[in-house]
Each structure stands twice: as C-alpha cells, then as structure tokens.
Amino acid sequence: MADSTTESMTADTIATSQEISSTGPAVAGVNVVILAAGSGKRMRSALPKVLHPLAGRPLLAHVIDTARTLSPARIVVVVGHGGEAVKAAVSAPDIIFAEQTEQLGTGHAVKQALDALDTSVPTLILYGDVPLITSPTLRALIDATGTEDYGILTVTLDHPTGYGRIVRNFDDSVLRIVEEKDADAEIRAIQEVNTGMVVAPTARLTGWLNALGNHNAQGEYYLTDLVESALADKVGVRTVFAENVIETLGVNSRAQLAVLERAYQIRVADTLLDGGVTLADPARIDIRGSVQAGRDVFIDVNCVFEGRVVLGDDVMIGPNCVLRNVEVGAGTRIDAFSHLDGAKVGAQAVIGPYARLRPGAELAQGVHVGNFVEVKNATIGVGSKANHLTYIGDADIGSGVNIGAGTITCNYDGANKHRTVIEDDVFVGSNASLVAPVRLGKGATTAAGTTIWKDVEAGSLTLNQKNQMSKPGYQRPVKLKR
C-alpha cells in the first residue's frame, strides 16, 4: 500500500466529514478484497503491520469481521510481507489468499486477487490496516454505487497533506484523483480526499487493472487511476462521504495505532454506557473481547476485559481488575487489583482485593475469596469463605466452609495433581496444609498449623501433636555497637 491515498488514512489527521447518503438500490452480493501485503516499516517491528493488535486482536481480523457482516460472495486477502504469518493468524474456511510477491502499488495488489473473484457481483476494496471501518458505511457505499458504477468513499480533511485529492468538475462530478506528489498548488488546496476504499464492477475492474500504467512520481500502479478508466468507459463515478472520519483512519506507526486503540475503546465504552453500565471514566477501560452486562453494573477505572465476559445485574468491579473469559453473578463485588481468568462466580459473592481466580474456579452464591487468595480448578460451595493468604487448587469445597489464613491445598506431588475434598461446614484453622488426595468430612475442624495427610472423620477435631516450651526471663540478643 505505497501510494499515499491508499496507504490508509492516518490517525494523526484532524478531519471533518459529511454525512453518508445512499441513493442507489440495495446490492445483494459483493466480493471483498482486503489488501494486507505491506511491511509497515514505520512500525519498526518484525511483526507484519496488519497483525499488530488492536483491542487484543490483529488489525486485519477487525477488517475481516466487518467484511463478513456484508454477506460477501468472496473474501480475498492479498498478502505479501510476512504472508505465512498473516495466513496463520486469520485463516478460515471463508478466506481466500492471494500473493503479492512484489509491492508495486495498490493497483498491482488488487490485480493479484482477480482470479478468485466472482465476476457477477461488484468488488469492494478494503485495507487490512484500517480496522475501524463499519458495516453501515460500507453498505452505504455499496448501495450508492450499484452494480455498474464505480464508487469511492471520500472524506474532507482540515489538513489533507499526503493524500490523493478528489478533483471535481464544475457540475460536482469527479474528474480524477491526484496523488500528493503529482499535485500542483491548486490541487493541493483541495480538502476532499480519497480513503482508498472503492467499489467497482468486477468484469470491468479486470480490464482496467490489466491496462493500468505506472507513469507517475512513484513509478507504481495506482488504484486511484481507475477513476479515469471508468470515465473513459462512460461508467458513472459516485462518491460517498464517510460519516465519521475515525472509520477511515489507518495505522502506519505505533503512535497511530495508539490513537485508534483509544478510539475503539471509546466506541465500546459508549455502547456500555448506552446499555446502562456506569463507567467511572470511559477513557480508562480496555475491552479486548466482548462484555455482556446487566443493569446497574459499575466498573471503576483501569479495568481490562478479555475474551468473553458476562456480568449480571448490580455487579461492582473495583479499580485495576482484569477479567478474562469470566461469568459473574448478580450483586457480586470484585474489589481492586483482582485477576479472574476462566472462572465462574455466583451471585452475591465478594472477591478481593488482590484475589486471583484461575481457570476452572467455580464459586457459588455468597462465596468470599479475599486478599491474596488464589483459586484454581476448584469448586467452592454456597457461603464458604477463604478471606486471607490462601491457595486452593484442585479442590471441591462444600457450603458453609471456613478456610483459615495461610491454608494451602498441597495438590502436586512432583509428578501428578490430586484433589482435596472438603465437605459442608468444615472449619479449617490458619496455616493448615492439606496434602491431597485427602477428604475432610462434614463439620470437621482442623486446628491451626495442622498438616492433614489422612482423611478426617465428620464432626471431628484434628490436630498434630505439638510440644510448647517456655523459658522465663529470656533476654533477647542486643545488637552490638561498632
């Protein structure tokens, strides 16, 4: 994506825009070609540019997801730099890959996809580094263009330096697109620019690309030159203005990636707010997946959500928490600096602060897991509590159980994991070590500091033999002065 208009609109551009208007008939089907061959030198990274993450997923994955919403006839991704890595990252049954072995411009890139296209429907051209483009904007472009015309998505910029200008006739029809390097002062004063996203009739596109020349300042095959090809063939050229300029912005540097990351997060935050979630600060939340939230949910600052997160009504999440693939029941409170990963938490529970729930943790209603408590691959029954400095791993804990501070389940023998079973109403004293496999019967009590390596009978008190000695008049050592 070397020519300036189609290297993607960059996120350091301040812009204004006009509303989208669609006048053409709805188009049933479309090919989608996504250009993803560029190296992204300004990223200064070994990772192909289109694989840099936005909201935890590759830039290209966002574009593909949007393309799918259009029910396309074909999706063709043109790869080049780091092509094998790109294929591995986004490969799917509905994705066709085309190779651009030399980066000779956007026109040349689209040409590599021609053999994979359905010539009976138009072709939409997108860019793998423009992740925030939306389905409504693209649908408006497709429908305004129809099946026979050539359509261009444009935007008006306050500072259009670097982009191809839309040159119009006296009747407002499009004459051509002129790249920055090929423009004179009069054309550079034009503020309407090409975003690079276009729709074209596929059969004609093939002929235009085969006839494309590279007689320009960069010696490349410009996709923008197809406007003049279309006009020469008496094909109508339509333009649609992007409603929101942020949709047209691309990533060519890490600074621009950061701008789009925050724009994406604000978009998601607005959706949560509209759904009734209270955010302490919409600018300080990161969603790297999906969040499904009930009513009257409160989320404090600097929280990160990854994968699929489901929050019930009245859930409260304190600051600096991380939730990954988690379900949280109604009325549960998660206090500051807690990390939940692959866990399921029931209603009215209290988690944290500084708690860690690892994959396989399942907590029932009213469970308390407090500060510096870690739970992994374990179930904890209704109303049970582990409030301080505890490790519960590979365990099944009943209801009404109290786990004292400093208790650990010794689940690993150096080769294999074993389970600990604690039945209802057990009281485990502080600093107990439960050596699995072991079972503590219903209502049993273990004294503080006890090591349990045999099953404990229901209702019993278990303690280790202890000898305590006291020496009256003991004098503590005194630090010597030097």
- Decide if 1 is inside a domain: no
- Decide if 122 is inside a domain: yes
pLDDT of 26: 67
- Decide if 283 is inside a domain: yes
Considering the domain architecture, whether residues 172 and 311 belong to the same structural domain is answered as: no
Query: In the listed set 250, 282, 308, which residue is the last one of a domain according to the structure?
Result: 250
Return the CATH number at 209: 3.90.550.10
* Coil, helix or strand at residue 402: strand
Task: Give pLDDT tens digits for 325-334.
Answer: 999 999 999 9
pLDDT of 25: 57
DSSP line for 54-113:
ETTEEHHHHHHHHHHTT--SEEEEEEBTBHHHHHHHH--TTEEEEE-SS---HHHHHHTT
Q: What is the phi-psi region of residue 138: left when phi exceeds 0, alpha when psi lies from -120 to 50, beta otherwise?
A: alpha
Predicted confidence (pLDDT) at residue 299 exceeds the cutoff of 80? yes
Contact (Cβ atoms closer than 8 angstroms) between residue 58 and residue 52: yes
DSSP at 191: -
How far apart CA 64 and CA 326 sit, in angstroms, is: 26
CA angle 102, 106, 107 (to 5 degrees): 95
As a whole number, mean pLDDT of residues 430-454 equals: 97
- Decide if 478 is inside a domain: no
pLDDT of 476: 78
Considering the domain architecture, whether residues 99 and 193 belong to the same structural domain is answered as: yes
Predicted confidence (pLDDT) at residue 385 exceeds the cutoff of 50? yes
- Decide if 480 is inside a domain: no
Q: Where in the sequence numbering do the catalytic residues fall?
A: 388
Considering the domain architecture, whether residues 198 and 290 belong to the same structural domain is answered as: no
Number of domains comprising the chain: 2
Return the CATH number at 414: 2.160.10.10
Which of 178-182, 300-304, 358-362 bottoms out in mean pLDDT, i.e. has the lowest?
178-182
Considering the domain architecture, whether residues 179 and 259 belong to the same structural domain is answered as: no
Closest alpha carbon to 369 in 323, 406, 403 = 403
Considering the domain architecture, whether residues 326 and 347 belong to the same structural domain is answered as: yes
As a whole number, mean pLDDT of residues 436-452 equals: 97
How far apart CA 410 and CA 419 sit, in angstroms, is: 9
Considering the domain architecture, whether residues 458 and 418 belong to the same structural domain is answered as: yes
| Domain residue limits at 27 | 9-250
Predicted confidence (pLDDT) at residue 289 exceeds the cutoff of 50? yes
pLDDT of 481: 84
Considering the domain architecture, whether residues 197 and 290 belong to the same structural domain is answered as: no
pLDDT of 13: 36
- Decide if 339 is inside a domain: yes
Which of 38-47, 139-148, 303-312 bottoms out in mean pLDDT, i.e. has the lowest?
38-47
Query: In the listed set 207, 229, 250, which residue is the last one of a domain according to the structure?
Result: 250
Considering the domain architecture, whether residues 274 and 318 belong to the same structural domain is answered as: yes
How far apart CA 164 and CA 176 sit, in angstroms, is: 10
- Decide if 322 is inside a domain: yes
Considering the domain architecture, whether residues 272 and 245 belong to the same structural domain is answered as: no
Tokens 């085309």, residue located: 98
Query: In the listed set 217, 250, 283, which residue is the last one of a domain according to the structure?
Result: 250
Considering the domain architecture, whether residues 41 and 162 belong to the same structural domain is answered as: yes
* Coil, helix or strand at residue 418: coil
Q: Which two tokens stand for residue 374?
A: 């870690």
Higher pLDDT, 17 or 414: 414
Considering the domain architecture, whether residues 293 and 435 belong to the same structural domain is answered as: yes
- Decide if 3 is inside a domain: no
CA distances from 195 to 1, 31, 189, 361, 417 (A): 12, 19, 17, 48, 57
Q: Which two tokens stand for residue 378?
A: 């374990």
Considering the domain architecture, whether residues 287 and 428 belong to the same structural domain is answered as: yes
